[in-house]
Amino acid sequence: MCTFPHAHFSNRGQLIAVKQVSLDSSDPDAAKKEYSHLQGEVELLKTLRHANIVGFLGTSLFQHVVSIFMEYIPGGSIASILHRFGPLPERVLALYTHQILEGVAYLHLNRVIHRDLKGNNVMLMPTGVIKLIDFGCARRLSCLNHTASSSDLLKSVHGTPYWMAPEVINETGYGRKSDIWSVGCTVFEMATGRPPLAHMDKMVALFYIGAQRGSMPSLPNGFSDHAKDFVNITLTW
């Protein structure tokens, strides 16, 4: 199983975040191989430095539990902010969207696809700085957790369909464009408090997006034409 990041102290007393994944112990060789691949990915992610993405620090393996160490982000996720205070005004929405795009552009420049952009994975520091978390190795994490099958897609941390691009649902591949779709869904979420199609059941939304029939919802009246156009363009099939 995969746990959400929690706080931990380093040997130097530094506060860091730790995400843990339990490996399938039934096949130790396969688990060790997958951990080796994960280590390689994290080593690459450690080289990334940007104001709007979380820093990776390293990994460890102990008794079939993989720990991934990351920069600790004081503050809460955008999803938690929306839950507490409701939708964001457009001027704030624009500030956060700009920073999200800066972070995504940097990842894409370094050939890293986020794969799981949504309000839960966008952190807001008390200073107003946005940090993207849970990027890059999301797929490797799901590979490590061998107990999860494709039928568990909707139950998994990365299986919420409301932010998923059509090509992801149809399993024709992740890419920069699928991240852009998810950015649009996250902007819609910040503007309204909920992602597009949230009124639908998860399975219905999954099939609706995957079938690529019908239009995605637009931002409600009260938002500028610029904001509406931005969301419409990002949510283009």
Domain presence at residue 94 = yes
Assigned token pair, 63:
């008794």
d(CA 220, CA 161): 21
d(CA 235, CA 212): 11
Q: For residue 142, is pLDDT > 60?
A: no
Please compute the mean of the pLDDT values over residues 119-127 and round it to a whole number.
94
Same-domain status, 21 and 98: no
Assigned token pair, 67:
């720990």
Same-domain status, 44 and 137: no
Domain presence at residue 80 = yes
Last residue of a domain, one of 20, 37, 71: 71
Same-domain status, 176 and 94: yes
Contacts of 159 (CB under 8 A, 6+ apart): 152, 153
| Strands of the 76-77 sheet, one edge to the other | 76-77, 122-124, 130-132
Domain presence at residue 26 = yes
Last residue of a domain, one of 44, 71, 98: 71
Domain presence at residue 64 = yes
Same-domain status, 62 and 156: no
With b for 16 or more beta-carbon neighbours within 10 A and e for fewer, the 96-109 pattern comes to bbebbbbbbebbee
Same-domain status, 92 and 197: yes
Assigned token pair, 199:
């009124």
Which comes out higher in pLDDT, residue 96 or 161? 96
Name the one residue in this structure whose structure tokens are 């191989």.
33
CATH no. for residue 83? 1.10.510.10
- Domain range for 126 is 76-234
In contact, 41 and 136? CB cutoff 8 Å: yes
Same-domain status, 82 and 186: yes
Of 24, 29, 116, 179, catalytic: 116
d(CA 42, CA 58): 6
Same-domain status, 58 and 80: no
pTM of the entire predicted model? 0.84
Same-domain status, 86 and 64: no
Last residue of a domain, one of 71, 98, 113: 71
Instruction: Express each pLDDT in 155-172 by its tens digit.
Output: 433 457 899 999 888 878
Q: What is the pLDDT of residue 77?
A: 95
Domain presence at residue 1 = no
pLDDT-above-70 percentage for the chain:
84
CATH no. for residue 16? 3.30.200.20
| Helix 176-192 / helix 225-234 crossing angle, nearest 10 deg | 140
Interior angle at CA 237, CA 89 and CA 213, nearest 5: 105
Same-domain status, 107 and 36: no
For the chain, the domain total comes to: 2
Instruction: Express each pLDDT in 43-91 by its tens digit.
Output: 888 899 999 999 998 888 887 788 889 888 888 999 999 999 999 999 9
116 in active site: yes
d(CA 91, CA 128): 13
Same-domain status, 137 and 161: yes
Q: What is the pLDDT of residue 37?
A: 78
Mean pLDDT of the chain: 84
Q: What is the pLDDT of residue 76?
A: 92
pLDDT band with cut points at 50, 70 and 90 for residue 152: very low
Same-domain status, 155 and 221: yes
Same-domain status, 57 and 116: no
Q: What is the pLDDT of residue 82?
A: 97
Please compute the mean of the pLDDT values over residues 205-217 and round it to a whole number.
87
DSSP 52-98: TBPPEEEEEEETTEEEEEEE---SEEHHHHHHHH-SPPHHHHHHHHH
